[in-house]
Structure 1
Amino acid sequence: MRVITTKDIQGIAIAEGAHRDGHEWQIVAVFDRVNIRGGQSQFLPTGGGDPFFAHTLQPGEVVCNEDAQMWHNATDFAPVDPVQQGHRDIFIVATNRWHKRRYGEDFDQASMHNGVSNWQADRPAEVAEIVEAS
């Protein structure tokens, strides 16, 4: 995900502010920061309050959090040199264990039935494992 900022565009890191996403675990990796100040990653007590973790991740740095245990946020950012555009590139992974999957059985069945690949032909062992677990 790339968020840009200019003298006219604020780099809004997280539009909704401090929040939880409903997944078990989340990983945020920063790949690039160019001409920006701000963008601090924060973990806060559930329900709000002062951050107990606050760090401006640099390229190559990663944070991981257990979503149910805390809120997360990132502060907005702006260009250091307002004549030049700035940006931050991040990669986000949100995951749940299979038995706590987010979308449920109806979604899984529709995905297998209407998915872009033919799961029955392409991955018969995986389909059999999913059916047996149901």
Structure 2
Amino acid sequence: MADQESESIRSASEAFSKEFETLVDSQHLDSIKQSQNLILGRLQDSNAVLSHFNEYSENCFVEVSADFSRNTRLLRSMKSDLDYIFQKLRSLKAKIAATYPDAFPDNSTIEALDQRPDLEMPR
């Protein structure tokens, strides 16, 4: 009984396989496989290019990172130095203005004396 049942299952599965093979064209399947292999090759090439670019970018970042941090520290130092210089200049200007009230002209006199064109204003 078990042999007969397994034999009927086997014959049914073979019949189903043969029917299914008639539904699908083998040339079409080969074409799909070829397209998939072509796409796989392109994706692998793209992956290799992107991996190389990532390595290159990482190396560039390592090189630039040290320069960037050094230049950032330099700019911060320059800013603090300039802040100190301008603070001293304001202090000196205030002392001179207190000692000599006519040393610095008012705004109307400054505009009359300064005849340079304003480069930030469009013509």
Which has a greater percent of strand? 1
Q: Which has the higher contact order (CA 8 A, sep 6+)?
A: 1
**Computing the radius of gyration over CA atoms, which structure comes out larger, 1 or 2?**
2
Which has a greater percent of helix? 2
Common fold by TM > 0.5: no
For normalisation by structure 1, the TM-score amounts to 0.16
